[in-house]
Structure 1
């Protein structure tokens, strides 16, 4: 391959605006404001955590209301709650294919889940993952990270994006279990962005939301989005494809 061909091969030909956001569903977030935020940020894919469907506290289909006519959604139940379901949801500006969900084998006070879907754009099939790790202790999160990495390694699609509230709240070194194999947005080049806005004496650091990609993709323009619509801030980034 010539030098020119190598340079052409490295040109990014697709860039997606993506985000992860724990919306604190139990705090009755403004769902129309969330939809406007997704649209204003021109987001293609969003991983969302703490989502209700038809619970007593939110007696409606929360993902459907947030998505409206602009975004499709895939909901994954982590557990039954208040007569309905509680879990996570992935939103996309086009249909997601092959959506499924897997419960983590380890379990703290709440069962946890990760979901997978396929996002197709410009000839690329991207495996899109979304998750919410346990908050109780690092040992649970290490087990969850290992199971998630096993799923990523076995995935036939090698272009991958992972969204989540990972609850890595004790020390930044917790992230290394994932960062050793994936590109990491929050913490990139040692730049940490606090995404949890409340303060908790049990937490040692507040950069707990993140976006990862497989090594064959790029992450840039990592940022928090400032409208206060939850006890977390949205974490957004741009993902580049060769």
Structure 2
């Protein structure tokens, strides 16, 4: 009797735990909804930063297929990137040959504030660099190093018609033309932030540093370009308005609020 009762309870419990819609989950047509036949194109492309791999991945949506891994800041023996005469010089910096980086953020070129599919830009977070990938070939076309910068996290950000790629330094530094060692205990007086405006040629996409804006010694985080009636403005978020240089988890969070910094680049 006891065994029969337990069996009945167990069967009842199993029936009650059956998920609703289990039939559709098992026999549904989910795969068909994302299937893209050979020779057909996905509706969207997802450009994904690769972090410390120094690479960029491209996925098709809705298929989820990995279409290409694009080497940017790191060598890739399979593709010969960083070994060939055409690509190896792109990994040279003022600090020597640096074949790695933290590819952190990605931004596509824009026309009238709409992504136009010409180029995609990526930041190197360690050695301050910006790369441009040509979307005609899905290959890295050029890399530019940014002076007066450290921790190139606040980049790349694109203006409404790709006039500029913007890069803000995450950590304030003594300027590159400063002579001699600058003691860290003079941080508030001698360490400065910068935001760099990198011009983009309308036809070729070739980049060049147009100008830099000297800022207080805060840490820049993210930014967005104004559009429409706010065209010509660039808005930056920041932290560490305390200008601390030790125990940042504590000393850089003493104030309740930091700043939104607005720059009119026109």
The structure with the largest helix share of the pair is 1
Q: TM over 0.5, yes or no?
A: no
What's the TM-score, normalizing by structure 2? 0.27
TM-score of the superposed pair, with normalisation by structure 1? 0.29
Larger radius of gyration: 2
